[in-house]
Structure 1
Amino acid sequence: MTRLFSGRITRVVLAALAGCGAGVALHAISKADGSYAFAVVGAVVGVTVALAVQFYRSTARLTEVRITVPQLSELTFVVNNDAQQVAWQLFVESVTRTSTQRLGDDEGLIREALTSLYGLFATTRDTLKASRPSTLSVGFTVENLAVTLLNRELRPFLSKWHPLLREFENANPDQPESVWPRAAECRAELRQLQTATREYVLAFAKLAGVQDPHIMLGTESGD
């Protein structure tokens, strides 16, 4: 937050200096008397513009948020209304899928879990493509977090297990996946992926300003 405050002060000072310069230039062009008056008027105009910009950014709810994701350590994000909306969309998409809802050894189907994860991958990518990119010069962005989730967590798991399961399904079209020799191994890695993904989902929730996201995830706070 100190960097944000310092940056705002710098913009105001620079705007004032620019205004002074504009006032002096205007005086030189008009060849009128009262150069100090022109400089003061220019400074006032510059400060007014800077304050107007500052007010706009304040109404856009520019905030700094610190988030700890075990895979990434502590990160500082700067978010506004647009970023919060993107984070909310990503949170909703994630929290309702198998990516965060754990499966027991005898619950659900691996194929359904993989399909759900593919859906999350595609939806996250589409959400990012449809949203405006962040233009803030400090901190990390929601896009950084989302792309890291895709490339570091989802992509490696899907690239490994989708071809293996598809190979078994093609070779054994009449057999249930429970007889797949690698089913237990796949489920174990799925649980690891879900544990990692939940941390990203909680981060999306914090960026979006969600209250008590653990309730939506079906866990107690701190689990």
Structure 2
Amino acid sequence: MSGREGVSPTTPRDNNVLKIKNTKSIAAGIPAATSSLVHGIKKMGVTKTIKTLTTVNQQDGFDCPGCAWPDPEHSTTFEFCENGAKAVADEAMKAKVNPDFFAKYTVQELSLKSDYWLNSQGRISHPMVLKEGSDKYEEISWKGAFDLIAQNIKQSGDPNRSVFYTSGRTSNEAAFLYQLFVRTLGTNNMPDCSNMCHESSGGG
């Protein structure tokens, strides 16, 4: 199979990892703290877990990528919920997806993997590009990536012909810089996952 034939538009549902258990009567306290630590240590290791979770939502730290924490006073050492800890662990996991990974799998093969499996492989360590006619992502330098982006933006002729998508899990700091860049170009086309994913549930 050549090119990108057979690429699935949606990833399959992964039912193998689902576990149905009795409903727990406690959703906070020690069980939640234990669960947070387990997820953190499993993905980040002990040292990084302690450093990261004691920095999230702190005055000199970073905002949780999972939500907008409502407490501006930062009165305690642990200013996060269990889901926030899981989101941080996902973003800071030690596992890495390098160019060798993309050399192993075609786009068609990756499209048949579940979202859970894809996320579990780790964070992408290098900028990658899917070239015209190719069925595999290839490594590209940071300069090459920025040059390619700039080239396509310039060729569009009008900033409003470009759409600058970003994830809702992007940090507030990164999102702020990103929107400055986009507005400097001259457009407000900045949909994120909270906009695009919920359009179908919010209309009608």
TMscore range, shorter length: under 0.3
Report the TM-score, using the length of structure 1 for normalisation: 0.22
Tell which structure's C-alpha radius of gyration is larger.
1
Report the TM-score, using the length of structure 2 for normalisation: 0.24
Which structure has more helix as a fraction of its residues? Answer: 1
